[in-house]
Amino acid sequence: MLKTSLQSTEEESQRMDVEKVNVDEKMQILEKSIMQLHTKTKGIRDDIINHASQQKTIEKSSANLIKQTKVAYEQISKKEVEIEDIANEISRVRIDNLNTQSQNELLQKKLDDLINELKDKEREVEKFEGDIKQRHITIAKKQHRVDRLNRQLDELKKKNGEDENAGPLEAKKNNIEKEINDMED
């Protein structure tokens, strides 16, 4: 699950890097367009001034100049709207960029936390495995001792023919059985 999350985070980070490059390229294009629009706007305004001065001298072309001026003003208005739209788009892109950066930072922090948690869990598992191994060793030693004591008991029973009133041997047998029971506990 963590690997999937890590891979997803890395893919998201790569996608965000590609989007950032695309946004930077679009921003450069938009800045060039703004400069071109500014130059065109200045040229259109210069045309308007020239037309206005010619209007005073040439009566016949005054109607044409008014029409051209009107068209020029409409173009200026359209270009100004376009400039505003481009400026708004640039602002949106910058905000998206900041949001993406903060999201990347948050995802990186989550990834770091998950990696640390995974390392902690791995250390716990290693500790538990060590404890289990040590307990297996202890159990094996106790079982070996119980087996040895059982063999001694069997030897004593064979030697004594299993007489219940054997005296000191019976006491030794009882002691061995007691040690076996203590070891099993």
Over the stretch 95-126, which tens digit does the pLDDT of each residue have?
A: 999 999 999 999 999 999 999 999 999 999 99
Model confidence at 163: pLDDT above 70: no
Q: Which of 12-16, 70-74, 105-109 has the lowest mean pLDDT?
A: 12-16
In terms of pTM, does the model score above 0.75?
A: no
Classify each residue of 144-168 as buried b or exposed e, where b means 16 or more C-beta atoms within 10 Å of its C-beta: eebeebeeebeebeeeeeeeeebee
Distance, CA of 48 to CA of 55 (rounded, Å): 10
Domain extents in the chain: 2-124, 137-184
121-135 per-position pLDDT tens digit: 999 999 999 999 999
Distance, CA of 30 to CA of 11 (rounded, Å): 28
Average pLDDT across the chain, whole number: 85
Q: Residues of the chain with pLDDT > 70: what percent?
A: 88
Distance, CA of 101 to CA of 120 (rounded, Å): 29
What CATH number does domain 2-124 carry, 1.10.150, 1.10.3470, 1.20.120, 1.10.287? 1.20.120
Query: Considering only CA atoms, which of 37, 120, 133, 107 is closest in space to residue 78?
Result: 37
Model confidence at 185: pLDDT above 70: no
Residue position matching structure tokens 């206005």: 52
Q: Could you please report the per-residue DSSP string of 67-131?
A: HHHHHHHHHHHHHHHHHHHHHHHHHHHHHHHHHHHHHHHHHHHHHHHHHHHHHHHHHHHHHHHHH
